[in-house]
Amino acid sequence: MLKGKHIILGISGGIAAYKSAALLRLLVKAGAEVQVIITPNGKEFITPVTLSALSGKPVISEFFTANSGEWHSHVDLGLWADLMIIAPATASTIAKMANGVADNMLITTYLSAKEHVMIAPAMDLDMWAHPSTQRNIRTLEQDGVEVISPADGELASHLVGKGRMEEPENIVKCIKAFFERNNVSEASLAGKKVMITAGPTYEKIDPVRFIGNFSSGKMGFAIAEEFAQRGADVTLVTGPVSLDVKHPRIKRISIESALEMYETAVQTAPECDVAVFAAAVADYRPETCNQTKIKREKGEAPVIKLVKNPDIAAACGKLKKDGQIFVGFALETDNELANAREKLDKKNLDIMVLNSLRDAGAGFATDTNKVTIITENSEMQFPLKSKVCVAADIVNTVQGLLTH
Ligand code: CTP
């Protein structure tokens, strides 16, 4: 899969730089040609000698080679590479990337990069959680950089928390998934119609209040982008989220309540080749919505009577015809596999994507997810990945089941 691929491995100055040697070795073993660019601080943590021995190429760090005066062209490097991965990406390197502070060879190369860029951040938990780091990460994501979220665990400071660079094996899996996504021809799903439900639903109590949930919509939006990139025409039926659709082949239908989502979905799904039910639909809604704002009255607190919402996936599953592939999600806290299989059956779906709330980094409102993809005859467990990588795994599974 990585044979002949040109990869720039950027290394910035953090303790996790020692893991970059293992990452480099795995990439080279998988057949990639790797050019290492290390920041001046990175060299305090791992020597260029080790890295050039492993990559079989001189390591680049300065703008010029000291003796010969040979200039290293960051523009040429940008053109040469199929992918740039910066691991570890320290808080400082992330900040420089987000703000275009081109004071070393790694950042100038990043600013000239035409290829896809990934970062695997590594830092102390407080630095990771700091609003400025999180702001910079959001900026990079908006700029199209793929962030391989740090893992939880013991850190160099001996504190325990989020900030450990993801293990080299898992970084390689994300890199392979990127090339897999790219290898799938642009037009491999051309002409296919796909419907996706995403986000939460809001169930009104009165004009200013509602019952909702913490769903961010990120998983559904990532799946929509993935299908569109492969040539499908996508209808994205989404509850209230703060995300924008990027691909022109995605038609967005914004709804608010489960009933609105239901009406759109049962009309759209029967016309589609694929339907993915990624929305976190509220199972119940208030029986009535007060026409005026409920006042804070003296005495007893109001009691809100709830009634059941329709099960959108199950209703569409009942209408499913041969050849259509329908995908559901199951968010479970216990007895996960058995519950997910039961939902697959009950809702008449073909694929169930299971996330367990017992797994850190999985489920709602995170940028990552850890899933098991279940079909009638198989179960595939995947490691913690960005939702973009998980979307590719889901779409690959759908493509495997589509007959033509
Ligand atoms: N779903 C749906 N409409 C609903 C409830 C769920 O379309 N009213 C879909 C979800 O989008 C998801 C799947 O059904 O794809 C499973 O959702 P989940 O909330 O895990 O299951 P429920 O059937 O609501 O079961 P429970 O909450 O009891 O676990």
Q: 357 C-alpha to center of ligand 1: Å?
A: 15
Q: What share of the chain is helix, strand, coil (3-state, %, to 5)?
A: 35, 25, 40
Task: Identify which of 277, 307, 349, 394 to mutate to test ligand 1's pocket (most ligand atoms within 8 A of the CB).
Answer: 277
Query: Which atom of ligand 1 lies nearest, measured to the CA of 347?
Result: 14
349 pLDDT above the threshold of 60: yes
Q: Are 7 and 83 in contact (CB under 8 A)?
A: yes
The residue-averaged pLDDT of 14-42 equals 96
Q: Cα of 305 to ligand 1 centre, how many Å?
A: 21
Report the pocket of ligand 1 as residue ranges, CB < 6 Å: 197, 258, 277, 279, 281, 283, 309, 311-313, 328-331, 343
Neighbour count for residue 259 (Cβ, 10 Å): 15
From the CA of 310, give the closest atom in ligand 1: 8
Q: Distance (Å, rounded) from C-alpha 403 to C-alpha 100?
A: 47
Identify the pLDDT of residue 353: 97
pLDDT confidence of residue 364: 67
Classify each residue of 148-185 as buried b or exposed e, where b means 16 or more C-beta atoms within 10 Å of its C-beta: bbbbeeebeeeeebbbbbbbbebbbbbbebbbebeebe
- Residues noted as catalytic: 213
Q: Which of 343, 355, 356, 364 to mutate to test the pocket of ligand 1 (most atoms within 8 A of CB)?
A: 343
Does the pLDDT of residue 83 top 70, yes or no? yes
By percentage, how much of the chain surpasses pLDDT 90? 73
Helix (H, G, I), strand (E, B) or coil at 181: helix
- Reported as a pLDDT band with limits 50, 70 and 90, residue 76 is confident
Tens of pLDDT, residue by residue over 46-67, are: 999 999 999 999 999 887 665 6
CA of 279 to the centre of ligand 1 (A): 8
Ligand 1 atom nearest to 329, measured from its CA? 15
Residue 363: predicted pLDDT: 65
| Residue 347 CA to ligand 1 centre (angstroms) | 9
Q: Average pLDDT of the chain?
A: 91
pLDDT band at 1 (very low <50, low <70, confident <90, very high): confident
- Test site for ligand 1: of 238, 309, 312, 316, most ligand atoms within 8 A of the Cβ: 312
pLDDT at residue number 185: 60
What is the 328 CA–ligand 1 centroid distance (Å)? Answer: 8
Residue 32 has pLDDT above 70, yes or no: yes
Using the atom order of ligand 1, give the atom closest to the CA of residue 352. 15
For ligand 1, atom 8: residue with the closest CA: 311
- Tens-digit pLDDT profile for residues 173-231: 999 988 887 776 667 899 999 999 999 999 999 999 999 999 999 999 999 999 998 89
Residue 282 CA: nearest ligand 1 atom is 8
Note the pTM of the prediction, 2 decimals. Answer: 0.66
pLDDT score recorded for residue 389: 84
Predicted confidence at residue 96, as pLDDT, reads 98
Residue with tokens 């290394």: 11
Residue 161, pLDDT score:
85
Give the DSSP letter of residue 271. G
Q: How far is the CA of 291 from the centre of ligand 1 (A)?
A: 29
pLDDT tens column, 376-385? 999 998 878 8
